[in-house]
Amino acid sequence: MDSRQYLSFDTSILYRASQKHFDRIFARFGLGYGQSLFLTYIYENEGVAMSKLADLGNFDKGTITHSINKLTELGFVEVRASDSDKRVKNLYTTSKCQEVINFIYLERQKWWDRLFQKVEKEDMEKYFEVSNIIKEEALNAENEIENENHLRIFGIQKLTLLDYPGKLATILFTGGCNFRCPFCHNKSLVFLDEDSSELNGEDILELLNKRQGLIDGVVISGGEPLIQEGLVAYLRKIKDMGFKIKLDTNGLLSEKLAYLIDEGLIDYVAMDIKNGPEKYAMTAGVQEVDLNEIKKSIELLKNRAIDYEFRTTIVDELHDVEDIAKIAMLIKGAKHYYLQKYHDSEGVIKKGYHAPSNDKLNEMLKVALKYVETAEIRGED
């Protein structure tokens, strides 16, 4: 096998063999290979911020949280809030760590001695030098790809008291959508003009950083944020600042939604339910809609421990009372459902729609309340 052709394969063999070896050796302490790496780093950098660990090897937050939870459960590590900023978590080793740390160092050294026994000392040094260069380039390449796929933000509202229940928040509007709802009042985000001005995501992060303590959260709206390649990386940066995040979504990409929930990147989701099944595609302005995706997203929100609401923008020409019964059946048992009264505006995709009467809305509300825990009307005159 030509090793130049199978570099990734060889690297993977080295990693897996090391992992298997150390998992076995450290099992007596309840430690895995990955946790031993974090433990030694914390031991050598007492008080390191938890968020800093992610930067060491572009680890995702889930991996870090899982490893640190394990190390604290085992009594090797303590997590303490920083004195200067309670949202920053600092990591310290405990006296129990002393029982294992030297064992880890010695076993680590023994393993690499074994692997390099047929390699000359100067070749070994060269190997470390070269692998360090390659590692740096791999991290750079990963960051470059991440930057290419950055979150495309086209609007910002610096302060809202209404869009994140119970919180002061900033709203960011992403560009592009996988629906084309005719009553949508964000036409300029859905049909992006060629000369649309994209905002600089780094400047926005700087602004958010300055607003720590002034706002509680950030709302990611659109357009449809889940179609954005750079969403995950950007949400991590916002989360690292300690903000709560609300996501506005049409729920068509259930796997992406599940990923954000699993990674702890969103705290509240507002999902649009466009209409009953037969009228869904027409109301979303597309030829067809995969309703299974919508149903999966509904179940995800209902079954995972996360705050959420379902909502429907009620347009007189598109919704009647029977439609609301069908929607309410789709989301049966939901905690919160909002019927949002449509209001005409300059920015709508298709003109000519009208708001429903308050009587019609109240009739719809009565029907919805048969199926969901709480329902309310928003935007009533």
Q: Which residues bind ligand SF4 (CB under 6 A)?
A: 177, 179-181, 184, 186, 190, 222-224, 250, 272
Give the shortest CB-139-to-ligand SF4 separation in angstroms.
35
Q: Which is nearer to ligand SF4, 184 or 245 (CB)?
A: 184
Give the shortest CB-352-to-ligand SF4 separation in angstroms.
16
Give the shortest CB-221-to-ligand SF4 separation in angstroms.
8
Residue number, nearest CB to ligand SF4 = 184
Q: Which is nearer to ligand SF4, 67 or 186 (CB)?
A: 186
Give the shortest CB-149-to-ligand SF4 separation in angstroms.
20
Size of the chain, expressed as the number of residues it contains: 381
Buried b (16+ CB within 10 A) or exposed e, 309-346: bbbbbbbeebbbeebbbbbbebbeebebbbbbbbeeee
Q: Is 274 within 8 Å of 298 (Cβ atoms)?
A: no
End-to-end CA distance of the chain: 74
Which parts of 74-182 fold into alpha helices (H)?
Answer: 98-115, 121-148
Three-class secondary structure of residue 31 per DSSP: coil
Q: Which is nearer to ligand SF4, 32 or 176 (CB)?
A: 176
Within 8 A by CB and 6+ apart from 299, the residues are none
Q: Which is nearer to ligand SF4, 223 or 276 (CB)?
A: 223
Q: Which is nearer to ligand SF4, 226 or 300 (CB)?
A: 226
Longest dimension (CA), the chain: 86
Buried b (16+ CB within 10 A) or exposed e, 131-140: eeeeeeeeee
| Ramachandran area for residue 119 (φ above 0: left; ψ -120 to 50: alpha; else beta) | beta
Give the shortest CB-186-to-ligand SF4 separation in angstroms.
5
Q: Which is nearer to ligand SF4, 39 or 219 (CB)?
A: 219
Give the shortest CB-97-to-ligand SF4 separation in angstroms.
51
